[in-house]
Structure 1
Amino acid sequence: MNFALILFCLLIASGAIWVADACFLKKNRAADAKDPWWVEYGSSFFPVILFVFVLRSFIVEPFKIPSGSMIPTLQVGDFILVNKFTYGIRLPVINKKIIDINHPKRGDVMVFRYPEDPSVDYIKRVVGVPGDKVAYQNKRLTINGQAVETQRIEDYLHPERLYYSKQFVEKDSGITHRVLNDDDAPAFIPDPASFPNREDCFYNNSGVICTVPAGHYFMMGDNRDNSRDSRYWGFVPEENIVGKAFFVWLNFGDLKRIGSFE
């Protein structure tokens, strides 16, 4: 469901009613006549819809974490806020950038339209920016020939499934975050898709090595062995970017998650 398009259509419809009533219809009604129901509702909802539309299109958008691919940073059921303007101002619905502000950098947690189905929003971490050579070999990440700083910490217990994953702290571009690996998961990437710029990636038994093309980004989940990401379906083009995730505002299963982002 394209909620932005639905909201835009409601805005146009209610706005048209509000303008028509203010400029024409009201003048032809008796002073003591009651507004028709469609005028009353349309005019009443217009400012509310306008506020929600502007807020969601240009400032922040709510997003719910549907899977465990970003554990331990984000948990299933987290409701997060996504900054819509940090990477530039985009026209709603068509998502065309009209004002350039910043560009995604390595370490950002970013929401984007899934390249294989742009009607679906995904959330992953930016691992490679245009021009980077990203190597994920034997479950270790290297950028432009430099191994990403990694420190092993205590194993992570998945409370719902009652099993442990190896846990590491990665530091890249000044951003520190945790990642998980599972010993029983293979290092190679099974069945990668045939995606645009596939020739920029080399697959072997140890994983994948990709050079990120201009205008694209390489994304990975923090739950490395339980995430379908750029290793499988390729690069995220600039036009698919939605915004930068920055705040957990609700989790019905764990209220202590509110305000966190780790």
Structure 2
Amino acid sequence: MSTLTAVLYGALAVYLGGWFLGHWIGNFSLLLFVLTVVTLGYWLAERFRFAPARQTAADTLAASDAQRRAELQKMGIAQVDGDVSVAREKLLMQPWWIDWTAGLFPVILVVFVLRSFLFEPFKIPSGSMIPTLLVGDLILVNKFHYGVRLPVINKKIIANNDPQRGDVVVFRYPVDTRIDYIKRVVGVPGDEVVYSGQKLTINGQPVPLTPLGDFYDEDSMRYAPKFSEKLGAVNHNILVDPKRTSIYQPMEAFEKFRDNCRYTAEGVTCKVPAGHYFMMGDNRDNSQDSRYWGFVPDENIVGRAFVVWMNFGNLRRIGSFN
């Protein structure tokens, strides 16, 4: 068992090393599930086989020592050298491969349950959600707000709230579901979303914008016009640069429901299909989103982002956001 455990730890080190070095895309949910199952197997084996076997061996040693002392005492030898207590403690001691597997099971199980069904942490990797979320923000995502889903396969088993316009949502990137994205819900099923001339219109109603002056982006070291936007009941800030023009073209990966969108040199018009959502970044001119790669199916939804719990470069970032 010690050799098998060493091989398993070696495989884990290779997997994590390759993930860290960028040789492949890791799946933390799957990894956590596998660790939970493996450590559970060790925990059950320890509880029902290995621990009882060690206890039996220790009891046998103690009984043998007691019998030897009794026989010597009958022969008139009252004082007997030797103490088996140390040996008995060594027999009862867990080997390293049990301590580093079965011993970790309760901790891994708690993390697995919390992360799979309650809250999951994420780190903001890009500036597509500036000014709402900055690069380096560590956020928490409410996993049960949109319903309870089975871990790994992300299958919804209990429905709850549906994503609403204005929600900030983490989801599996439709082009590559191994990657998690974070954007804002702009269109819900049935909506007609128009983004043209850098202005957003939903179901024929222009989304109101209020100028808020300039925002200084420390990463790009430049200023950009900031606006307040209201989507549904949510007021939030966005960046829109009127001086910047974009030509919208769909990515080749935009295949499903591609006919629901019409593209022009100035913008894009999309009809959101049932069971799907139209997502956009708050940094409108620096965001790869539904304008380019299409709609997000409900089964890709991970959860609703609601708070920045840490930013090591700027502690003032900690708190909730819209």
TM-score class, shorter-chain normalisation, is over 0.9
Tell me what 1:176 maps to.
235
Structure 2 counterpart of 1:87, from 139, 142, 146: 146
In structure 2, distance between residues paired with 1:86 and 1:156: 32
Matched, 1:105 2:164: yes
In structure 1, distance between residues paired with 2:234 and 2:167: 8
Structure 2 counterpart of 1:2, from 27, 52, 68: 27
Structure 2 counterpart of 1:244, from 265, 290, 304: 304
In structure 2, distance between residues paired with 1:131 and 1:235: 12
Any runs of at least 4 consecutive aligned residues in structure 1 with deviations exceeding 3 A, and if so which?
190-194
Matched, 1:198 2:258: yes
Tell me what 2:134 maps to.
75
Q: Is the 8 A contact 2:127 2:286 kept in 1?
A: yes
Deviations 1:36-64 (A, max 9, x none): 22222222100000000001100001000
Structure showing greater Rg: 2
Gaps of 5+ in 1: none
In structure 2, distance between residues paired with 1:25 and 1:192: 57
Matched, 1:234 2:294: yes
Aligned-pair CA distance for 1:191 = 4.9
Partner of 2:101, secondary structure, is helix
Aligned-pair CA distance for 1:22 = 1.1
Matched, 1:20 2:45: yes
Matched pairs, number: 262
In structure 1, distance between residues paired with 2:48 and 2:178: 38
- From the two aligned structures, give the one with the greater helix fraction: 2
Matched, 1:159 2:184: no
How does the TM-score come out when normalised to structure 2? 0.79
Partner of 1:89, secondary structure, is strand
In structure 2, distance between residues paired with 1:87 and 1:226: 28
- Deviates further, 235-244 or 15-24: 15-24
What does 1:22-171 align with in structure 2 at a 5 Å threshold? 22-29=47-54, 30-31=57-58, 32=88, 33=91, 34-171=93-230
Tell me what 1:225 maps to.
285
Q: Is the 8 A contact 1:248 1:259 kept in 2?
A: yes
Matched, 1:211 2:271: yes
Deviations 1:164-196 (A, max 9, x none): 212111112110001111234224314543321
Kindly tell me: are residues 39 and 184 of structure 1, through their superposed partners in 2, closer, same or farther at Cα, counting changes over 3 Å?
same
In structure 2, distance between residues paired with 1:260 and 1:219: 20
Aligned-pair CA distance for 1:11 = 0.7
Could you say what the CA RMSD is over the residues aligned between the two structures, in angstroms? 1.3
In structure 1, distance between residues paired with 2:218 and 2:154: 38
Using CA pairs under 8 Å that are at least 6 residues apart, name the structure with larger relative contact order, 1 or 2: 1
In structure 2, distance between residues paired with 1:92 and 1:223: 31
Partner of 2:285, secondary structure, is helix
How does the TM-score come out when normalised to structure 1? 0.96
Deviations 1:108-161 (A, max 9, x none): 000001111111100000000111100111111111111112212212122333
In structure 2, distance between residues paired with 1:35 and 1:113: 41
In structure 2, distance between residues paired with 1:150 and 1:4: 39
Residue identity matched to 1:84: K
In structure 2, distance between residues paired with 1:191 and 1:4: 30
Q: Is the 8 A contact 1:107 1:125 kept in 2?
A: yes
Gaps of 5+ in 2: 1-25, 59-87
In structure 1, distance between residues paired with 2:209 and 2:218: 24
In structure 2, distance between residues paired with 1:166 and 1:189: 21
Tell me what 1:11 maps to.
36
Residue identity matched to 1:230: S
